Every structure is written in C-alpha cells, then in structure tokens.
Homo-oligomer: A and B are copies of this chain.
Amino acid sequence: MSARQADAPDVQNFDAPRPYKLARVGVRGVKKPVQVHRPGQAPHGVVATFDMFVDLPANQKGTHMSRNLEALADVLDEAIAEETRGLENMCRRLVLRLLEKHDYAEDADVEATADFFLARTNPGGKSTVENYGLIAQAFGRRGEAVTRRVGVVVTGMSACPCAMETARHKFAEKGQRPNPDIPFITHNQRNIVRLCIDVPEDEDVEAEHLVDLCEAALSAPTFELLKRGEEGDLVIQAHHTPRFVEDVVREALHLVVKRYGGLGDAVVVQCSSEAEESIHKHNAYAERRTTLGELRA
C-alpha cells in the first residue's frame, strides 16, 4: 500500500451484478421538525415525514442514500434562514438538490406529509383548533421544470342519503307521517377526504383553502370542541346535507373547478372520500384522478 491509506471503497459505484434500471431508490420515513411560513400567519412548527427517491441507471450498484439526508439537512437549514414558504416548495428544493447530488439520476421524487392545525369556528361561533393532514410532493426530470403538488387529508362527517329515504319509506308504509321540516334519521360516520392538486409555476395553492373545499363537500365538518347545543346544530346540518362518498368527491371536484378556474388544463387533481360506515364493518370509497382540463370539458 502506498504512503496514503486508500479510501474505503465506494461500493455504490461498483457495477451492478444484475444490470436492471431501478425507478425509485432512496429513503422512506425520515421525520424532521420543519418551520412553515405562510402569509398572514406566524411561522409554526410541524413534524414532517419525508420520502426521497431518485432513479438508478442499470449499470450502477447502488445510490448514495446519505446524500438524500444531506440534501434534507441543507434544505431545512436554508428554510430557517430564508423562510421557505410551504412544504411543497421545500420538496421542490429537495428535488433540485437530489438531482445535483446524484449526477447519475434522471428523476427525483419527494413527498412530505405532516399533521397541521387550523383555527376554525364551530357551529356555536367558538374558536377551536382542528387537525388536518398535509401532503406535499414534488417530482422532476433533470433539465425539466419541477412539478409541485399540495394536498390535504380532512376528517369530517357524511350522512347517507339512501338510508334516510328508506327509513322514511318504512315509516310511511306504517302510516307514520313525519314533520317535513325536520330531517329524517339515517346513518352517519367519519369520512376521510383526500384532495391533491398540482401547483403551477408562479401560482400558490394554500392548504387551508383545500381544507375549506373538503369541508364544504362533506355533509358537515367535525370539531374537537362542541358544547351540547353545538352538537345539535352539527347533527342537524349533516342531516340537511346527506351525501354519499360519490357526492363528496364530486362536490369537491366542482368546488376545485370553481375556485381554481385560473389554473391550466394540465393541472392534475386527485380526490377521494372514504366513509368509515357506521352500519358496516367495511368502508365505502370513491375516487377520481384527472386534470382540470378534463373536469372543465
């Protein structure tokens, strides 16, 4: 051995024993505290979980995964310094940084998820802090623009329009006439709505607005704090607006088209609604993945 001890071998740079290209190689489940800055809000901390991948050419044995963690540490430091707005912008930076650090990669793909909170007003007018899920994504190909996507996960309530009519019918068959000004009984349950939308260059999509759309698409939003009378109001509201999972997704799509009319046809929109059925042990589910262009067609 020469005067200087050789470095440890870069095993990742070895030839791949089985030369197949890999689509996504990287790390999953990296948890980090992140400061998020939004207009009109104090910066607030969230705990984000990151998945970060690049592709790997057929001939190279491995990707250098520690570079993904370095990229994340860099971007988090910069976020503190420069007040990065929004987790989806942090994801875009990560995509660019991953492509820089992995010069053999053509694609990079990043997702961050986090719990976040909004101050909402319950049916009694009281302020309550509500929990939502935030989804931020960015992906891009070397030399092309990075696509950002932002989404939310909203827990609310859906009341079944079919069981309402059936129950009404059953009483009618027995000659029982309800007061038509009082909504009829039905089953209702927790309903999880997911709504994601591409954020075009030079545009912003606020997670808070997506939450607004999802809550408007449900039979009713839910609240952590409800005094007795407010519970009653919420129950009445839900029974005035019975909706299938199908209705929830379509209403959300309708509201997306209305609100984001200015965005381009290529913008991808994904929406799902999952009802944790109170009358079944299984869930009811509906989804659509499409573009704004198709929705407007």
Q: Is A293 an interface residue (CB 8 A)?
A: no
From B6, B26, B176, give the contact of A181 (CB < 8 A): B176
Output the least CB separation between A188 and chain B (Å): 5
In this assembly, does A3 line the interface, its C-beta being within 8 Å of a C-beta of chain B? Answer: no
Number of interface residues of A (CB under 8 A): 120
B23 touches A288 (CB 8 A): yes
Q: Digit string of A24-61 for contact with B (CB within 8 Å is 1, else 0)?
A: 11111111110000000000111100010100100001
Total copies of this chain within the assembly: 4
- 1/0 contact trace for A60-103 toward B, CB 8 Å? 01110110011001001000000000000000000000000000
- A253 interface residue, CB < 8 Å from B? yes
Which among B8, B167, B168 is the interface contact of A170 at CB below 8 angstroms?
Answer: B8
Q: A245 on the interface (CB 8 Å rule)?
A: yes
**Which residues from chain B contact A224 at a C-beta distance below 8 Å?**
30, 69, 280-282
Please tell me if A139 contacts chain B, counting CB pairs below 8 Å. Answer: no
Quick one: which of A260-297 are within 8 Å of B by CB?
274, 276-290, 295
B249 touches A11 (CB 8 A): no
In the complex, A205 has a CB within 8 A of chain B? no
What are the residues of chain B within 8 A of A21 when measuring CB–CB?
Answer: 288
Partner of A27, one of B9, B12, B285: B285
A170, A229, A279 — which one has the most chain B CB atoms within 10 A of its CB?
A279
Contacts of A245 in B (CB 8 A): 25
Whose C-beta in chain B lies nearest to the C-beta of A19? Answer: B250
| Contact call A279/B235, Cβ cutoff below 8 A | yes
- Kindly provide the distance from the CB of A201 to the nearest chain B CB, expressed in whole angstroms: 27
**Nearest CB on B from A132, distance (A):** 9
Q: Which chain A residues have a beta carbon within 8 Å of chain B's beta carbons?
A: 5-12, 16-33, 44-47, 51, 53, 56, 61-63, 65-66, 69-70, 73, 76, 115, 117, 128-131, 155, 157, 160-163, 165-173, 176-179, 181-190, 220, 222-229, 231-236, 238-239, 244-247, 249-251, 253-254, 274, 276-290, 295
Q: A17-B247, A27-B282, A31-B282 are in contact. List 7 more A-B contacts (CB 8 A).
A: A11-B161, A32-B117, A187-B188, A187-B235, A189-B278, A222-B280, A238-B278
